[in-house]
């Protein structure tokens, strides 16, 4: 009986840790110019190109050439999702 209880506890612990690692591992924001509005692709000032999946809760219309700040998260499986997009502020 003790062996069964220990095995169940180990399985539950493993399941919980897997769910934790499958959650969002990284969040951040990046500013750039919209290259593709449908696929949410932006170019940064450093010459990097970022591709984002659309978060289901995200409802925003983008225009090519517009400067935006994308708030994103990366899942445990390495997919990058845009969770919030706002127009970038112009620094004076």
Looking up residue 31, the CATH number of its domain turns out to be 2.40.50.320
- In this structure, the number of other CB atoms found within 10 A of the CB of residue 85 comes to 24
In a domain, 4, yes or no: no
In a domain, 30, yes or no: yes
In a domain, 9, yes or no: no
Domain that holds residue 32: 24-87
- Band (pLDDT 50/70/90 cuts) for residue 13 is low
Q: pLDDT tens digits for 34-59?
A: 999 888 999 999 999 999 998 888 88
In a domain, 73, yes or no: yes
Tell whether the model's pLDDT for residue 80 goes beyond 60: yes
Q: State the pLDDT at residue 92.
A: 44
Sheet order of strands, 26-36 included: 49-51, 41-43, 26-36, 67-74, 80-87, 53-54
- Band (pLDDT 50/70/90 cuts) for residue 91 is low
How many whole angstroms separate alpha carbon 76 and alpha carbon 90? 33
Structural domains of the chain, count: 1
CA angle 25, 87, 63 (to 5 degrees): 100
In a domain, 1, yes or no: no
How many whole angstroms separate alpha carbon 84 and alpha carbon 58? 7
In a domain, 83, yes or no: yes
């Amino acid at each position: 009986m003790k062996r069964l209880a220990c095995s169940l506890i180990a399985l539950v612990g493993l399941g919980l840790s897997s769910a934790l690692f499958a959650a969002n591992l990284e969040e951040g924001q990046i500013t750039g110019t919209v290259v593709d509005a449908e696929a949410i692709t932006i170019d940064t000032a450093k010459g990097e190109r970022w591709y984002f999946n659309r978060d289901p809760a995200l409802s925003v219309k983008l225009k090519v050439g517009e400067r935006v700040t994308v708030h994103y998260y990366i899942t445990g499986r390495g997919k990058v999702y845009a969770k919030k997009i706002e127009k970038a502020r112009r620094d004076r």
